């Protein structure tokens, strides 16, 4: 019986493999995009505060 469940799981993974890969890639790209935007935002905030402190 366990081999039947393993076989069904294997067939399901092969059938949905490209969907899982696409979903994982999309998730990774979204995370990288969010991290990049937050890093850019932090850097710009730091530069702006430095410029405002320097001019005051």
Q: What is the pLDDT of residues 4-51, one digit of tens each?
A: 777 777 777 776 677 777 888 899 999 999 999 999 999 999 999 999
Instruction: Specify if 18 maps to a domain.
Output: no
Q: What is the pTM of this model?
A: 0.60
Residue 7 or 54, more confident: 54
Instruction: Specify if 42 maps to a domain.
Output: yes
Give the Cα separation of 39 and 44 in Å (integer).
Answer: 9
pLDDT of residue 27: 93
Which run of H or E residues covers position 1? none
Buried b (16+ CB within 10 A) or exposed e, 33-49: eeeeeeeeeeeeeeeee
Torsion of CA 27, 31, 37, 41, to 10 degrees: 150
Instruction: Specify if 48 maps to a domain.
Output: yes
Instruction: Specify if 45 maps to a domain.
Output: yes
- Which structural domain range is residue 37 located in? 31-56
Domain count, the chain: 1
Confidence at 1, pLDDT banded by 50, 70, 90: low
Q: Which two tokens stand for residue 6?
A: 């393993």
């Amino acid at each position: 019986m366990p081999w039947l469940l393993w076989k069904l799981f294997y067939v399901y993974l092969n059938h949905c493999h490209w969907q899982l890969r696409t979903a994982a890639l999309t998730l990774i790209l979204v995370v990288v995009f969010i991290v990049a935007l937050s890093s850019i935002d932090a850097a710009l905030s730091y530069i702006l505060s430095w410029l405002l402190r320097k001019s005051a």
